[in-house]
Structure 1
Amino acid sequence: MQKRCHRLLCLALLWSISLWGTGLRLGWAAEPEALTLRQLAQELRARNPQFVQAEQERAQIEARIPQALAWDQPMIGMEQTPMPRSPLNINGSQGMSYRLTQTMSFPGKKRLAADILEAEAGSAGAQIDGLYVDLLAELKRQYYQLLALQQQAAINHNTLERLNQIKQVAKVRYANNAAAFVDYMNAQVAHGSAENDVYQTQRQIEQTQQALNTLIGRSPAQPLAVAVEPLLDLNLPSLAELTQQAHGLHPNLRDSAYRLQAARKSLDLAKKAYYPDVQVILTKNSNHPPYGLAGNEYGVEVDLILPTWFFEREKAGVSEANAGVISAQAGAELAWRQVQLSIANAYSQLQQVIKEKELLQQRRMPEAQAAYRLALNTYANNAGDFNGLLLAQQNLRDTELSAAWVDSASQQAKAALDAAIGLGMESP
């Protein structure tokens, strides 16, 4: 008896392993964890290749700062003179000297060059923040679009259930000689069209999931599930408050401010070109050539590296830097106007969507639901027109889809407004 039980247990274990292997071959897999919008944003920041590229470009600029502050390379030389008969007659030279040459920039030049690089690094950092804001807005758009498509899929299934109900009512009326058979056939055609909508919506869901996967740096074919979160509050501050908030927050404005700072530092550095640099040469002379170090005679030479004749190059450099400052000032003004315009457009769009949502919730949805119930009850009681019932059902479906998409549109419009202000997930 014990051997028999052991044999049965082994068979059960083998059967379980076989089923598990069959499940793997058929593509059975555990459902992926549903990701929240914040988790998607974290994946975006951590894995999107554009951020890796942008971060490394900023790191390159920052690595140039200590190079700009470092002293110029020293130069060591050796001279043998005089050398009779041939310059290659080293052993015949009568004297030699060792020389150490060091060039030093006029005080302040290197600091200004480092300041320019620091401003450029700040500009690169602001551009990274701007990239995040833009990609986050696209992520939110795809996320809310996916939620709307999933809601549309549920509406499609509800539509199939209603059409099944209409088919049964038409069938009963036809059996009682109260309706033509064409009513049942029309209901069947409408049901087939609704099934096609189910397939199309599923394809759109898969395409949106693939786009989201690509955006967060994953394989497009990787399974993806998103968590349904409560819709964001759409209570809007005034346009003036939002514009003022963007003034100190938007990455493009910080980028233009850093560019202006760099341009002004470049102008200061161009003006420093009028001042001479210094070259110091230390010399040790020896009377024991060719390689002897004996002797204690030393020399010091100080040279001034003067600006070019008549300051032509320096004048052109200052003119170039002045033009750069004016250009940066115009760029900062243009960036501010573009931010204001983006906020105004996004604000107007969101206001319009909010009004559409209120109209749907307060009037269109209740009217469509009441019209469908009335048409169904009337037709079921051997009265009313079948085409009117199908029309009422189609109007209800269209209204439900409009409600689903207006919710998505409102959240996408809010995401666009956040992007226009310069808000990210970490912002209040």
Structure 2
Amino acid sequence: MIFRPTLDHPPRQSHVLRTAALAAALLVSASLQAAELGEDVQGLLDIARTQNPELALMRAEAEAAGQRVQPAGALPDPLLRVELMNVNNYGNDAGFNLLPNKVGETRYTLMQMLPWPGKLELRRGVAQADARQAQARTEAAWNELAMRIKTAYARYYLAAGNERLVLEILDLMKRIEQIAQVRYAGGLVVQQDAIRAQLEQTTMRAELIMLESEKRQQRARLNALLSREPGAPLGEPRALRPLPPPAALDVPDLAQRARASNPQLVAEEARLASAEKSRELTLRNRYPDFSVGLQPTQMGSRITSWGVMFEMNIPLQQTTRRSQEAEAQAMVTAARARWQNVANQLVGELGETVAMLQAARQTEALVSNQTLAQSELSLRSAIAAYENGRLDFTALLEAQREIRKARQEQLKAQAEAQVRLAEIERIVGEAL
């Protein structure tokens, strides 16, 4: 019997081939996506926000702190007490027994503790302040992580940019070497010119090795911040974030935004609120807490009598209480001083960092608009003059080094501005 496949039942081999093709397509897509990661800093930030274990830990702690709010303001569970009286049945014909209806008398007491009015609200307020503090610490951790990613990306961009620059200059030196070889063949220059061009290329190739090592280090650092394997692929950095306009870098305005939005300050404000609530709660401990209860009494199988009970603690340990109140006041003072200290530090760092950003921006503008253009013009003139025999090789090398230095200063200023921008955004607590 010969089996003939139909259109409704394709051969198993065809199904396997389609599955393999789909798997290959998915692998190619995944590799392309991995290659694209790293071309800009925003993609790295998006990955870090969802994958970083430190952030996951902080979020879990903040969630745990939030779950403590409701229990902090709730009444404690009631208590049930059962007392078996005359368990040996003295005076009765029965013997020892522990069953409630077989003893002389069973007394039940149902009690509920009631704190002094206002204590539950204060305890809830302390828990809410602690929850806000935990949430603010989570945001502070994210701010710190984002700054580290932005800084590492700027250095990654600097290393990649320097690598591209050295490769361009290396091509230029090869052309200069060819010019020197032609002139040497014509007896117009000494062989030393071509040899010096080759030595310059060797130096650049050694620098390329160092730059590749720097790129690997920055890739490993970025992958660590993203909770990826150190050797995980990252794309070449293509562009830096645009800098904010100078009007957005007004220090007093940024300082005001930092006082309102910086997570460190928000956490310290929540710590201060918690200390103040704790102080008020300690002062309320001067007043007693109460317990009320209901007491039915059972004899045999019947409830024969009912009673009510009232209980209160007597706050007599005034020396202990005064020490606790002094401690709570000291904690409030410390929390307020800590907030002020953090605010002063942040404002000081802000002014310094804004000045450094402005200096980096001015340096980059000066190099781009003047130094770089002048260096390019000088190099072109030097090459033309060397070809015509009006300039020696040393001056040509110097012109090449000048344009290379200008391009390096431009890249360094751009990366420095990005690092300072990241620090400003960490201080302010939000993107500019």
Which residue of the other structure, out of 129, 140, 144, is the alignment partner of 1:130? 140
Code of the residue aligned with 2:414 in structure 1: it is: D
Q: Distance in 1 between matches of 2:239 and 2:382?
A: 35
> Match of 1:72?
76
> Match of 2:169?
159
> Match of 1:305?
313
Q: Distance in 1 between matches of 2:282 and 2:49?
A: 39
Task: Please give the secondary structure, in 2, of the residue aligned with 1:299.
Answer: strand
> Match of 2:14?
none
Which residue of the other structure, out of 315, 318, 328, is the alignment partner of 2:322? 315
Conserved 8 A contact 1:58-1:125: yes
Q: Distance in 2 between matches of 1:183 and 1:101?
A: 102
**Structure 1 residue 85: deviation in Å?**
9.3
Q: Which runs of 4+ in 1 moved over 6 A?
A: none
Task: Please give the secondary structure, in 2, of the residue aligned with 1:97.
Answer: strand
> Match of 1:140?
150
Could you say what the CA RMSD is over the residues aligned between the two structures, in angstroms? 2.4
Write the mapping of 1:173-184 to structure 2, written as runs, cut at 5 A: 173-184=183-194
Q: Distance in 1 between matches of 2:369 and 2:81?
A: 90
Post-superposition CA distance 1:359-378 (Å, at most 9, x none): 21232212221221222111
Task: Please give the secondary structure, in 2, of the residue aligned with 1:72.
Answer: coil
Q: Does 1:32 align with 2:28?
A: no
Q: Does 1:402 align with 2:409?
A: yes
**Structure 1 residue 68: deviation in Å?**
1.5
> Match of 1:416?
423
> Match of 1:89?
96
**Structure 1 residue 49: deviation in Å?**
0.7
Query: Please, which runs of 5 or more residues in structure 1 have no aligned partner?
Result: 1-13
Q: Distance in 1 between matches of 2:84 and 2:133?
A: 52
Which residue of the other structure, out of 386, 389, 407, is the alignment partner of 2:396? 389
Conserved 8 A contact 2:240-2:418: no
Write the mapping of 1:228-307 to structure 2, written as runs, cut at 5 A: 228-229=238-239, 231-237=241-247, 238-288=250-300, 293-307=301-315
Percent identity for Structure 1 against Structure 2: 22
> Match of 1:195?
205
Task: Please give the secondary structure, in 2, of the residue aligned with 1:410.
Answer: helix
Conserved 8 A contact 1:80-1:90: no
Q: Distance in 1 between matches of 2:236 and 2:312?
A: 69
Write the mapping of 1:110-121 to structure 2, written as runs, cut at 5 A: 110-121=120-131
Q: Distance in 2 between matches of 1:371 and 1:117?
A: 69
Q: Does 1:204 align with 2:207?
A: no
Post-superposition CA distance 1:21-42 (Å, at most 9, x none): 9xx9xxxx65722453222211
**Structure 1 residue 265: deviation in Å?**
0.5
**Structure 1 residue 234: deviation in Å?**
4.1
Q: Distance in 2 between matches of 1:123 and 1:243?
A: 21
Code of the residue aligned with 1:397 in structure 2: it is: R
Code of the residue aligned with 1:405 in structure 2: it is: K
Q: Does 1:223 align with 2:206?
A: no
TM-score (norm 1): 0.87
Which residue of the other structure, out of 356, 359, 370, is the alignment partner of 2:366? 359
Task: Please give the secondary structure, in 1, of the residue aligned with 2:261.
Answer: coil
Conserved 8 A contact 1:346-1:420: no
Task: Please give the secondary structure, in 1, of the residue aligned with 2:47.
Answer: helix
**Structure 1 residue 83: deviation in Å?**
4.5
TM-score (norm 2): 0.86
Q: Distance in 2 between matches of 1:173 and 1:226?
A: 39
**Structure 1 residue 77: deviation in Å?**
2.1
Q: Distance in 1 between matches of 2:325 and 2:186?
A: 97
Q: Distance in 2 between matches of 1:176 and 1:114?
A: 93
Q: Distance in 2 between matches of 1:337 and 1:244?
A: 12
Task: Please give the secondary structure, in 2, of the residue aligned with 1:60.
Answer: helix
Post-superposition CA distance 1:4-28 (Å, at most 9, x none): xxxxxxxxxx9xx9xx99xx9xxxx
Q: Distance in 2 between matches of 1:287 and 1:296?
A: 6
